[in-house]
């Protein structure tokens, strides 16, 4: 399994270097003018084509599985091929800036459908009364699976705002999934998780802290899709694993997405698809890093300092997920605690006046969402 990790890391790192070199020779590949908005916090132009590096890395691993004739080669290749529509939609948005959110999410639905039929990647239980009876109906299971996979896929794109944020959070989640997969003796899922980890680490080295290359929508959708499908397959293949284990492991990006929808639709009365500057990671950048480093600090440094706060937050859900991976009630209780922790932190940042010593240094006004 480790040779997949090494191969994916090497291919991703070299591909990222190649993309950076080509992009700075051909400035049109930087695509900076196509992606302006309140969620843009970097100063140095960089290619949004990190997804290509991840795709190349997993393509190489798929070829390795085929040539080695591993027992799981067919599953590995089918899962890799399933991502193509979702990845293509994100990549086209990175290159053109013209693919709307609905169009990209539709392509994610196609990818989820492919995995559902090709790999039986379906959610058929939640270990809750009545819910499992509904999910025993094929049509209900199909619709719910597509909804869940699309939601998780998009959630990684939602948190992809600062150097190293989405990639490291994804590495943390995939590490948890790989641990439980290995514990179950599932070498296909373990190997695919390790392949993704290697690819993300190869990218991460060039993304954090300086931001020489970004995941882009293509990379975020590819990563989110595989996290979602590996989660679905783990629960579908192993009844011992609670379906709430991957839910809690992924809870930071999931809750960020759900709260974002609530904040925009209910509190602000705008479309959930419109970007704004009020995600938790943006508030940390605007308030906490300005307090720690001062209002005149270099924005690239503040950008890099933002992500570790969210890595720590993600760990507060991943650690209990690992501890209680087969205990549904404890997982549900831990999910509630995480939600309360998130809301408390968010409330302290945006609704309640900051302590005077922070307010004076950061010069941040109390802004309602």
pLDDT tens digits for range 246-265:
999 999 999 999 999 988 88
pLDDT score of 369: 40
pLDDT confidence of 305, banded at 50, 70, 90? very high
Average pLDDT over residues 279-296: 86
Task: Say yes or no to pLDDT of 306 above 50.
Answer: yes
Query: Which alpha helices (H) appear in 97-243, and where do they start and end?
Result: 101-119, 131-135, 138-158, 165-183, 187-207, 216-237
Task: Say yes or no to pLDDT of 346 above 50.
Answer: yes
pLDDT tens digits for range 223-238:
999 999 999 999 999 9
pLDDT score of 350: 77
- How far, in whole angstroms, is CA 219 from its chain's centroid? 9
First to last CA, the chain: 46
C-alpha–C-alpha distance, residues 360 and 345, integer Å: 20
- Long-range Cβ contact pairs of 23-32 (< 8 A, separation 24 or more): 23/47, 23/49, 23/213, 29/95, 31/94, 31/95, 31/97
Q: Is the peptide bond before 54 cis (omega within 30 degrees of 0)?
A: no
pLDDT tens digits for range 171-220:
999 999 999 999 999 999 999 999 999 999 999 999 998 889 999 999 99
Query: For residue 155, which of 49, 87, 248, 252 has the smallest C-alpha distance?
Result: 252
361 Cβ partners below 8 Å, 6+ apart? Answer: 290, 291, 294, 295
C-alpha–C-alpha distance, residues 323 and 341, integer Å: 19
pLDDT tens digits for range 41-69:
555 678 989 999 999 999 999 999 999 98
pLDDT confidence of 365, banded at 50, 70, 90? very low
Residue located via tokens 């969210």: 310
C-alpha–C-alpha distance, residues 161 and 87, integer Å: 18
Instruction: Report domain extents, the chain.
Output: 2-31+41-362
Written as six digits, the tokens of 368 are 């309602």
pTM comes to: 0.90
| C-alpha dihedral, 327 to 330 to 334 to 337, nearest 10° | 170
pLDDT confidence of 366, banded at 50, 70, 90? very low
Query: For residue 193, which of 230, 237, 246, 148 has the smallest C-alpha distance?
Result: 230
Written as six digits, the tokens of 38 are 């309140």
CB 169 within 8 A of CB 158: no
SS3 (DSSP) at 359:
helix
CB 163 within 8 A of CB 307: yes
């Amino acid at each position: 399994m480790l040779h997949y990790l090494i191969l994916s890391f090497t291919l991703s790192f070299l591909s990222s270097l190649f993309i950076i070199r080509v992009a700075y020779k051909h400035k049109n590949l930087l695509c900076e003018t196509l992606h302006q908005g309140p969620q843009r916090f970097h100063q140095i132009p960089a290619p949004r084509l990190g997804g290509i590096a991840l795709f190349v890395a997993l393509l190489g691993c798929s070829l390795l599985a085929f040539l080695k004739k591993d027992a799981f080669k067919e599953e590995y290749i089918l899962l890799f091929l399933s991502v193509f529509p979702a990845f293509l939609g994100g990549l086209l948005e990175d290159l053109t800036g013209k693919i709307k959110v609905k169009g990209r999410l539709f392509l994610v639905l196609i990818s989820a459908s492919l995995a559902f039929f090709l790999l039986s990647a379906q959610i058929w239980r939640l270990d809750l009364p009545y819910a499992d009876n509904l999910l025993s109906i094929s049509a209900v299971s199909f619709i719910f699976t597509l909804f869940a996979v699309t939601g998780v896929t998009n959630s990684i794109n939602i948190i992809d705002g600062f150097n190293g944020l989405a990639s490291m959070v994804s590495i943390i989640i995939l590490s948890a999934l790989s641990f439980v997969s290995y514990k179950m003796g599932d070498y296909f899922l373990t190997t695919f998780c390790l392949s993704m980890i290697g690819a993300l680490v190869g990218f991460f080295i060039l993304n954090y802290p300086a931001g020489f290359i970004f995941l882009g929508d293509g990379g975020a959708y590819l990563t989110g899709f595989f996290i979602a499908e590996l989660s679905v397959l783990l629960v579908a293949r192993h009844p011992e694993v609670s379906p709430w284990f991957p839910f809690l492991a992924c809870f930071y990006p999931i809750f960020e997405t759900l709260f974002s929808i609530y904040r925009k639709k209910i509190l602000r009365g705008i479309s959930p698809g419109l970007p704004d500057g009020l995600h938790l990671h943006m508030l940390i950048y605007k308030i906490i890093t300005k307090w720690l480093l001062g209002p005149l600090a270099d924005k690239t440094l503040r950008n890099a300092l933002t992500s570790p706060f969210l890595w720590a937050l993600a760990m507060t859900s991943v650690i209990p997920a690992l501890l209680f991976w087969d205990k549904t009630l404890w997982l549900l209780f831990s999910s509630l605690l995480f939600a309360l922790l998130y809301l408390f932190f968010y409330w302290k940042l945006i609704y309640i006046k900051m302590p005077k010593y922070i307010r004076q240094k950061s010069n941040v006004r109390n802004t309602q969402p």
